[in-house]
């Protein structure tokens, strides 16, 4: 199977994740769509790693997974903090930082 | 095999974006991650696939399910999702769809169009063995020799994230005001331990 197919799948997943980040309003689902984008990038990293027969891309994919875990940790902590303050869980309503 | 897994990955991604209930969106993401792990296996990345299933589809998604169950994800009405709020919201959503479509076209051109000669290939030669490409021994050797600094930076980042999550989701203090606690609904956790515990267990119990 040619590497190009994997890259096409990764591009589709990344674009879907980007669309989800822009369209959805629930911050939980926005975080899930961020995961989708990171996974699309991961797939292309592993595909390129396979293409060159080199492990660097796989190491980078592992580091991206670590960063994704950190992001989930902080993001879910913020969602829980928002929920505690009885604010609406909706990114359109939470726009105090918008200026 | 590739087409099954690739279709599963794309279907899972569509499910995450389209499903109304956040709980089902999380389940769709789990399906997406599992089929992505199959793709990693097809790309001879055994260790990355194992980490994907165990850590990502296991641990991280359990955290998501806990938070969705705790927050009690409200369903967005699908009509409201499509229409937005008024004409401005609808225009914004249409713009978002167009923007992501353009992003997809650009990515496809960048990944497939320009570098087609370099990209189209079946990859480097592969010989099975205990220490070849993609095995845990290979990854571990790279991670502890050539990428040692990256490894340490990642571990430090994880530490910072763990401390930050505990601070953010703490029951008292942090960014939460004390006045909010008076009108708060009593949960079963309050009955089994005093409210003013200021330890790490407070933060752990608060995550559920």
Has residue B84 got a pLDDT over 70?
no
Q: What is the pLDDT of residues A48-87, one digit of tens each?
A: 888 877 788 888 999 999 999 999 889 888 888 878 777 7
- Tell me, what's the pLDDT at B208? 43
Catalogue all structural domains in chain A, each as residue range(s) with its CATH number: 7-84 (1.10.287.3510)
- Distance between CA atoms of residues B133 and A54, nearest Å: 7
Q: What is the pLDDT of residues B20-48, one digit of tens each?
A: 788 888 889 999 999 999 988 888 888 88
Q: What is the pLDDT of residues B113-149, one digit of tens each?
A: 665 555 555 566 666 666 677 778 888 888 888 888 9
**Token code pair at residue B105:** 């076209």
Higher pLDDT, B53 or A1: B53
Check if the beta carbon of residue B158 is closer than 8 Å to that of residue A72.
no
Q: What is the mean pLDDT of residues B137-163?
A: 88
Percent of chain B, pLDDT > 90? Answer: 7
B123 to A20: CB separation less than 8 angstroms, yes or no: no
A73 min Cα distance to partner chain B (Å): 6
- Chain A 30-89, CB below 8 Å of chain B: which residues? 31-33, 35-36, 39, 42-44, 46-47, 49-56, 58-59, 61-63, 65-74, 76-81, 83-86, 89
Task: Say what the pTM is.
Answer: 0.75
Has residue A98 got a pLDDT over 70?
no
How confident is the prediction for chain B on average, in pLDDT? Answer: 74
Kindly provide the ipTM of the predicted complex, given to two decimals: 0.85
């Amino acid at each position: 199977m040619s590497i190009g197919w994997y890259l096409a799948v990764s591009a589709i997943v990344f674009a879907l994740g980007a669309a989800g980040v822009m369209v959805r309003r629930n911050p939980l689902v926005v975080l899930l769509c961020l995961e989708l984008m990171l996974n699309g990038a991961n797939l292309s990293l592993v595909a390129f790693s396979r293409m060159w027969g080199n492990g660097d891309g796989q190491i980078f994919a592992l580091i991206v997974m670590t960063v994704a875990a950190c992001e989930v940790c902080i993001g879910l902590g913020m969602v829980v903090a928002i929920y505690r303050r009885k604010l609406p869980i909706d990114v359109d309503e939470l726009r105090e930082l918008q200026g | 095999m590739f087409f099954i897994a690739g279709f599963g990955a794309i279907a899972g991604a569509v499910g995450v974006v389209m499903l109304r209930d956040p709980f089902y969106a999380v389940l769709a993401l789990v399906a997406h991650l599992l089929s992505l792990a199959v793709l990693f296996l097809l790309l001879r990345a055994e260790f990355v696939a194992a980490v994907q299933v165990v850590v990502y589809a296991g641990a991280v998604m359990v955290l998501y399910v806990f938070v969705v169950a705790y927050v009690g994800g409200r369903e967005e009405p699908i009509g409201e999702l499509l229409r937005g709020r008024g004409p401005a919201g609808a225009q914004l959503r249409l713009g978002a769809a167009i923007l992501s479509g353009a992003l997809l076209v650009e990515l496809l051109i960048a990944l497939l169009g320009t570098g087609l000669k370099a990209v189209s290939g079946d990859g480097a030669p592969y010989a099975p063995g205990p220490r070849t490409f993609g095995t845990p021994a290979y990854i571990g050797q790279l991670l502890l020799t050539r990428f040692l600094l990256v490894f340490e930076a990642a571990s430090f980042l994880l530490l910072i994230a763990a401390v930050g999550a505990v601070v953010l989701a703490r029951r008292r203090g942090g960014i939460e005001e004390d006045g909010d606690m008076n009108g708060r609904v009593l949960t079963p956790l309050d009955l089994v331990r005093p409210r003013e515990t200021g330890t790490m267990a407070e933060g752990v119990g608060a995550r559920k």
